[in-house]
Chain A
Amino acid sequence: MMAQFAVHAFAKNRAEELGFDLTDLFVVPLFFDKLALHEVRKPLLIEGGRGCGKTTLLRYLSHQTQLSPKRTITRDNLPKEIGLYLRADTQYLRAFAGDALNDKDWQRAFEHSLCLSILGELLSSLALLGEGSERKVAFAEIEALDLGIMRDFDEAAPATLSALQAYVNRQKNRLATWLNNPDDEVRPRLLPLKQVLLATIGAMRQQLPFLTEHVFFVFIDEYENLLQYQMQVINTLLKHSEPPLIFHVATKRNGMATRATLGTEQLQEPADYRKFDVEEHLAKDFELFAAELFCFRMDQRGTGGGGEQFPVSAKVLMDPKKIGLRRDDADYRRRVRAVVDRVLPGMTTDELARFILKDAPLRGRLVKIIAEGLAIQRSTLAPEAFLRERVATASICCGALLHQGKKGNVLLEELDKQERGEKSSFAGDGGWIHHYLAGCILHLYLPLQRPCLLYAGFDAFLKLSRGNVRHFLELCHLSMVELDHDPKPDESVPPEKQASAARTASALFVKESQGSGDEGNRLFLVVNTLGQIFRFSQNRPSQSEAERTHFSIDSALPRDAEAILQECVKWSILFVAPETKVKDERFEGEEYILNPIYAPYFGISYNKGRKLELTTQAAIELLTGTRDNLDKLLRNYKNRWSVTDDQLPLI
């Protein structure tokens, strides 16, 4: 059995799967220089949803990568900011609550736990720095490091590096043991976080001259999962961050539930911290980044032919100093893009239209729709007359147009014009093809087992993933799984397989929505209900409101529904777009787009097509309704759109 490198190339797309040492694995994102880590000493609030690469980025910035054994570290190239990465162990830290201790003690216990974790990382970084024969020479002082300063805080603390590391683990255990039985167990000495860390760093710097100018960054990930008082503790650390110890936090969008500190002051932006929105930055150059990532992963696994096939040098991609080279070279962009287009080709709408006319089931379905449309008009024209190879795209639209009430002979005339190359209602911006083609193609595929080929191609993948690295990688991964072997040098993944991969990925992410925070169950139902509504719309033969994928609500929502709506945005179930058409002076609301990654699962479009206007009542039912409400909502739409099919002409 051939080992499938290509499948493995994209298999690991979650940070946890990649491990801590990301050397040789990390493509530096094109916004990396905007982080300005070397210059600014202000804490960062790094915001971004699942799959934006936030955690991977932090791990890259942490000592396991920075000081990786794979790198040659000398006193000269020792990174000036050494990262210590902490992932809040949610289930443990959230148990730091309740009557077992008073509030003050919980706070101190939390600080103690945090202190141990950071201390552990600090010691690990030193241990890593002094590991290996070369480093033992270059950083000889580490071996003799005396951290007896710890005894100022706990007489029982050892002084050597390795003994202290063991001590930290023992103390972690003692803390857990004590918390499990505070009445009977001996209370451990609760360390004061800042003093301990600063004292330790101070002692380190004194004995390790190569660290005198260096700063330690503590990255606290998943901040949003902490309890309120814990956030306050960290906010205090943020507010008073200064070299040599600077704190940064990473959270989901709107994850900083409170700006309060332990004192009276609040955290202020930008005075106390700088917000960095990963998704926003990622979106700017996502096309290039995705293409580079693709090439990098394929090349890494030896599936590439080397430099020729993949015009990206892994070294350049991994070098933070070479971002400009990548970002500013238009020719480079084109070349990289071309590579991916070759491996993941899509079909142009022309190609797809011609394909449909040749494919028996699809053609048959089109004929049926046209025949129905003609029958409604009591026309005696033959359906076949509307199928023209040379203007396939126009032919595809005819079914919908007939159902909209356009007269058959009018359409035939326009088809003739189109065929002759004359101006027709089909062509141009605002023409029928422009409005209806994608919707009609999706409509043809809806009842078939095969997924629609519109979901194939690098372009489609970009639109489906919409700036989410993880979604993009999963689409690539599943495409390789579908391909079932490593692609040869000029081989591409057939569009059917890509479309199939897209549908599988889509199903996966729909299921994943159940894990979206406290309202996961509800959000899962929102995805399914909304997707189903759009699917009903997609099923209308007239396609008069083509490609519905977003909605607006006609007035303000009550608080609980609004909260769910916000959760949907927070967890990227929905994206917000400002409403394009403002009607009168009434309520000016937002438009919400269903995350396009769900489109293949429901067989709907991933473009922003026509809007569905929800009444407030419908929105309330969608967001907070019971099982019966949701069923009723769906039946209403189903009935509305199948019984009274839209006969209005095109605007």
Chain B
Amino acid sequence: METRDERFFLETTLRRVEHLIRQGIWEGIDLARSRNWYSQFEQRACGLLGACLLDNLVYRSRAQLIALLGAVMTSPELLGQNDDDDRQVVSSLRSQRDPGIRLAPVIRLDQPPIKSGMYVLRLLAREFGVRDRWMVWPEALDKQPEFHTLLLVDDFCGSGMQFVEFLGTHTMQQFFASRADCRVIYLPAAAHEQGLAKIREVVPRVQVLAAEVLNDGHHFFNGTVLDQYGIKDLKAELLNQHETMCTAHGIGGRLGAFGFQELGLTYGFAHGTPNNTLPILWQDANGWTPLLNR
């Protein structure tokens, strides 16, 4: 690989990252930290990997997440056949009158209370005016009067395993048994095909609606991401560099260097990063400066 071309690509990418951060499009990523993160690559002559990762990072700032939520909350599937306004569901959730819909976070009481589902609910309340009286802990669902739709909100569905586990809890099993007519919809802002497939397979009763869906093509190394460069041995070179960096800095650990379920994603939110995303982007251990927050 010839250094001169790389240098140009690296410079342009780094400059773009600065613009994105300064314009607030990548709000939540600190400029100094992004430079430090990248310099870790340069120090080991792996700048190309760092730049390609930056070039393909799908980063959702808070504002962008809100746009995703907007998409999913006005999704045609949520609306009734006779509804004539995309905002119908949101409007009804803003009203004092019982809309017959409840929202619950995908979180178990035995887990630490830091799960993103809570954050999503907060955003829905703040940005969409959804009244908190229609938001319920899963454990409190059985005390609710009859309602027709349960929306389970989340930020990201990767492998689907977490959600499936959640549905397997006593609380949710109870709910399914007692409310056979209630429509249950899982609303992650973003999801991966594998997760959707798993849920379809295991809990076909639950419908999943996501604002954007990733697939195997989004695997940074094995997908179609690198095709855009049209360079023959790029994947091999980048895998090499990835190996170098991961070995040198102890990146991966139990999860492996390609993220949970080896999905190899380059996807993250301002408030946190799915563990299906390449750990080299978010891992905060062994002295490695991460780019994104876990």
Quick check: which of B6-14, B168-176, B218-226 contacts chain A, the rest being far away?
B6-14
A536 within 8 A of B: yes
Question: Would you give the shortest CB distance from B23 to chain A, in whole angstroms?
Answer: 14
B212 within 8 A of A: no
Using Cβ atoms and an 8 Å threshold, which residues of chain B touch A532? 8
Q: Interface on B for A, CB 8 Å cutoff? A: 2-4, 7-8, 10-12, 15, 42
Given A449-B10, A449-B11, A507-B15, verify A535-B42 contact (CB < 8 Å): no
Q: Is the CB of A447 within 8 A of B4?
A: yes
Question: Would you give the shortest CB distance from B66 to chain A, in whole angstroms?
Answer: 29
**Residue picked from A449, A532, A535, A539, most chain B C-beta under 10 Å:** A449
Given contacts A446-B4, A638-B2, 6 further A-B contacts (CB under 8 A): A447-B3, A447-B7, A507-B12, A507-B15, A536-B4, A539-B4
Contact indicator per residue, chain A 419-457, by CB within 8 Å of chain B (1) or not (0): 000000000000000000000000000111100000000
Q: With the chains together, A446 CA to B7 CA distance in Å?
A: 8
Contact indicator per residue, chain A 447-480, by CB within 8 Å of chain B (1) or not (0): 1110000000000000000000000000000000
Q: Is the CB of A535 within 8 A of B11?
A: no
Using Cβ atoms and an 8 Å threshold, which residues of chain B touch A535? 4, 8
Q: With the chains together, A638 CA to B7 CA distance in Å?
A: 15
In the complex, 11 of the A-B residue pairs with CB atoms within 8 angstroms, ordered by the A residue number, are A446-B4, A446-B7, A447-B4, A448-B7, A449-B7, A449-B42, A504-B15, A507-B12, A535-B4, A535-B8, A642-B2
Q: Residues of A within 8 Å of B, CB-based: how many?
A: 12
Q: With the chains together, A307 CA to B86 CA distance in Å?
A: 67
Question: Would you give the shortest CB distance from A643 to chain B, in whole angstroms?
Answer: 12
Q: With the chains together, A504 CA to B18 CA distance in Å?
A: 12
Question: Would you give the shortest CB distance from B16 to chain A, in whole angstroms?
Answer: 10
Using Cβ atoms and an 8 Å threshold, which residues of chain A touch B3? 447
Q: Interface on A for B, CB 8 Å cutoff? A: 446-449, 504, 507, 532, 535-536, 539, 638, 642
Q: With the chains together, A124 CA to B42 CA distance in Å?
A: 61
**Residue picked from B2, B10, B12, most chain A C-beta under 10 Å:** B2
Using Cβ atoms and an 8 Å threshold, which residues of chain A touch B12? 507
- Per CB-CB distance, the 9 closest pairs between chain A and chain B, nearest first, are A447-B3, A539-B4, A447-B7, A446-B4, A507-B15, A447-B4, A446-B7, A535-B4, A449-B11
> Residue on B with the closest CB to A642?
B2
Q: With the chains together, A449 CA to B38 CA distance in Å?
A: 12
Question: Would you give the shortest CB distance from A630 to chain B, in whole angstroms?
Answer: 13
Q: With the chains together, A642 CA to B15 CA distance in Å?
A: 28
> Residue on A with the closest CB to B7?
A447
Q: With the chains together, A507 CA to B11 CA distance in Å?
A: 10
> Residue on A with the closest CB to B16?
A507
Using Cβ atoms and an 8 Å threshold, which residues of chain A touch B10? 449
> Residue on B with the closest CB to A532?
B8
Interface of B is mostly: helix
Question: Would you give the shortest CB distance from B46 to chain A, in whole angstroms?
Answer: 14
Using Cβ atoms and an 8 Å threshold, which residues of chain B touch A536? 4
> Residue on A with the closest CB to B5?
A638
Using Cβ atoms and an 8 Å threshold, which residues of chain B touch A504? 15
Q: With the chains together, A539 CA to B8 CA distance in Å?
A: 12
Using Cβ atoms and an 8 Å threshold, which residues of chain A touch B4? 446-447, 535-536, 539
Q: With the chains together, A535 CA to B6 CA distance in Å?
A: 13
Q: With the chains together, A532 CA to B12 CA distance in Å?
A: 13
Q: With the chains together, A449 CA to B8 CA distance in Å?
A: 9
Q: With the chains together, A539 CA to B10 CA distance in Å?
A: 17
Using Cβ atoms and an 8 Å threshold, which residues of chain B touch A448? 7
Q: With the chains together, A447 CA to B8 CA distance in Å?
A: 8
Question: Would you give the shortest CB distance from A436 to chain B, in whole angstroms?
Answer: 19
Question: Would you give the shortest CB distance from B144 to chain A, in whole angstroms?
Answer: 51
Q: With the chains together, A448 CA to B42 CA distance in Å?
A: 11
Using Cβ atoms and an 8 Å threshold, which residues of chain B touch A446? 4, 7
Using Cβ atoms and an 8 Å threshold, which residues of chain A touch B7? 446-449
Q: With the chains together, A446 CA to B6 CA distance in Å?
A: 11
Question: Would you give the shortest CB distance from B228 to chain A, in whole angstroms?
Answer: 14
Using Cβ atoms and an 8 Å threshold, which residues of chain B touch A449? 7, 10-11, 42
Question: Would you give the shortest CB distance from A375 to chain B, in whole angstroms?
Answer: 18
Using Cβ atoms and an 8 Å threshold, which residues of chain B touch A638? 2
> Residue on A with the closest CB to B10?
A449
Using Cβ atoms and an 8 Å threshold, which residues of chain B touch A539? 4
**Residue picked from B2, B7, B10, B42, most chain A C-beta under 10 Å:** B7
> Residue on A with the closest CB to B230?
A631
Question: Would you give the shortest CB distance from A282 to chain B, in whole angstroms?
Answer: 30
> Residue on A with the closest CB to B42?
A449
**Residue picked from A447, A532, A638, A642, most chain B C-beta under 10 Å:** A447
Question: Would you give the shortest CB distance from B2 to chain A, in whole angstroms?
Answer: 7
Q: With the chains together, A497 CA to B15 CA distance in Å?
A: 16
Q: With the chains together, A449 CA to B4 CA distance in Å?
A: 11
Using Cβ atoms and an 8 Å threshold, which residues of chain A touch B15? 504, 507
> Residue on A with the closest CB to B6?
A447
**Residue picked from B2, B4, B12, most chain A C-beta under 10 Å:** B4
Q: With the chains together, A447 CA to B4 CA distance in Å?
A: 6
> Residue on A with the closest CB to B12?
A507
Question: Would you give the shortest CB distance from B36 to chain A, in whole angstroms?
Answer: 14
Q: With the chains together, A446 CA to B11 CA distance in Å?
A: 11
Q: With the chains together, A449 CA to B15 CA distance in Å?
A: 11
Question: Would you give the shortest CB distance from A381 to chain B, in whole angstroms?
Answer: 26
Q: With the chains together, A642 CA to B8 CA distance in Å?
A: 17
Q: With the chains together, A448 CA to B2 CA distance in Å?
A: 13
> Residue on B with the closest CB to A602?
B8
Using Cβ atoms and an 8 Å threshold, which residues of chain A touch B2? 638, 642
> Residue on B with the closest CB to A536?
B4
> Residue on B with the closest CB to A448?
B7
Question: Would you give the shortest CB distance from B234 to chain A, in whole angstroms?
Answer: 16
Question: Would you give the shortest CB distance from B227 to chain A, in whole angstroms?
Answer: 16
> Residue on A with the closest CB to B3?
A447
Q: With the chains together, A642 CA to B4 CA distance in Å?
A: 11
Q: With the chains together, A532 CA to B7 CA distance in Å?
A: 12
Q: With the chains together, A448 CA to B3 CA distance in Å?
A: 10
Question: Would you give the shortest CB distance from A140 to chain B, in whole angstroms?
Answer: 53
> Residue on A with the closest CB to B47?
A449
Question: Would you give the shortest CB distance from B51 to chain A, in whole angstroms?
Answer: 11
Question: Would you give the shortest CB distance from B74 to chain A, in whole angstroms?
Answer: 34
Using Cβ atoms and an 8 Å threshold, which residues of chain B touch A642? 2
Question: Would you give the shortest CB distance from A533 to chain B, in whole angstroms?
Answer: 12
Using Cβ atoms and an 8 Å threshold, which residues of chain B touch A507? 12, 15
Q: With the chains together, A185 CA to B233 CA distance in Å?
A: 66
Q: With the chains together, A536 CA to B12 CA distance in Å?
A: 17
Q: With the chains together, A448 CA to B11 CA distance in Å?
A: 10
Q: With the chains together, A504 CA to B22 CA distance in Å?
A: 15
Q: With the chains together, A414 CA to B3 CA distance in Å?
A: 32
> Residue on B with the closest CB to A504?
B15
Q: With the chains together, A536 CA to B5 CA distance in Å?
A: 9
Question: Would you give the shortest CB distance from B6 to chain A, in whole angstroms?
Answer: 8
Question: Would you give the shortest CB distance from A455 to chain B, in whole angstroms?
Answer: 14
Using Cβ atoms and an 8 Å threshold, which residues of chain A touch B11? 449
Question: Would you give the shortest CB distance from A80 to chain B, in whole angstroms?
Answer: 49
> Residue on B with the closest CB to A539?
B4
Question: Would you give the shortest CB distance from A537 to chain B, in whole angstroms?
Answer: 11
Question: Would you give the shortest CB distance from A542 to chain B, in whole angstroms?
Answer: 15
Q: With the chains together, A485 CA to B25 CA distance in Å?
A: 26
Q: With the chains together, A447 CA to B7 CA distance in Å?
A: 6
Question: Would you give the shortest CB distance from B32 to chain A, in whole angstroms?
Answer: 14
Using Cβ atoms and an 8 Å threshold, which residues of chain B touch A447? 3-4, 7
Question: Would you give the shortest CB distance from A497 to chain B, in whole angstroms?
Answer: 16
> Residue on B with the closest CB to A503?
B11
> Residue on B with the closest CB to A451?
B11
Q: With the chains together, A446 CA to B42 CA distance in Å?
A: 15
> Residue on A with the closest CB to B4?
A539
Using Cβ atoms and an 8 Å threshold, which residues of chain A touch B42? 449
Question: Would you give the shortest CB distance from B93 to chain A, in whole angstroms?
Answer: 42
